[in-house]
Amino acid sequence: MQLAPYVFFDGTCEAAFSFYADVLGGAIVQLNRYEGSPMADDMPPEQHQWIMHATFEAPGIQLMGADGGDFGGEMTRVSLSLGSSDAEEGRRVFEALAAGGTITMPYTKQFWGASFGMLIDRFAVKWMINAG
C-alpha cells in the first residue's frame, strides 16, 4: 500500500497545485473536474469546473487534492489516502480502520473502476481507501 496526503480546497485546488509545481519543480499528473462526473448534478453550475481529483508529483513527493471536502461535517483540509492495486486488500484495510469508527462512504466499486470508501477511524483520523 501507498500513503498519500489528500488536501482539500475551496475552489483553489488547481491554482494551488500549479503553484506547488512551480515551487517544487513537479507537475500535475492528473486533473479531473466535477463537470462530466456523476457528482456534477449535485453541485451548483459555478462549481462544475472545480477539481474533483488532482495528483501532483515531484521527486519524492506525491500530493492529492480536490475542491470541496465536506464529508459529513465541517470543512476539512486533509484526509489520508491509501491506494492499492488489490481491491480485497483495500477492503480488509477499510474494514480494519473502520472498526470503532464511522464509515462516511461505504467501500464499493466506483465509476472510475476501483473500489473506494471513506471513513473516520476511532482516533478521528479521516481516511480514503482506493483499490483495484
pLDDT digits (tens, 9 = 90+) for 3-48: 889 988 889 999 999 999 988 899 999 999 999 999 899 889 999 9
How far lies 42's CA from each of 2, 66, 78, 100, 127, in Å?
31, 16, 23, 30, 23
Domains in the chain, ordered, with CATH? Answer: 7-68 (3.10.180.10), 76-132 (3.10.180.10)
pLDDT digits (tens, 9 = 90+) for 95-119: 999 999 999 999 999 999 999 999 9
Pairing of strands 27-33, 51-58: antiparallel
pLDDT digits (tens, 9 = 90+) for 63-80: 999 998 665 556 667 888
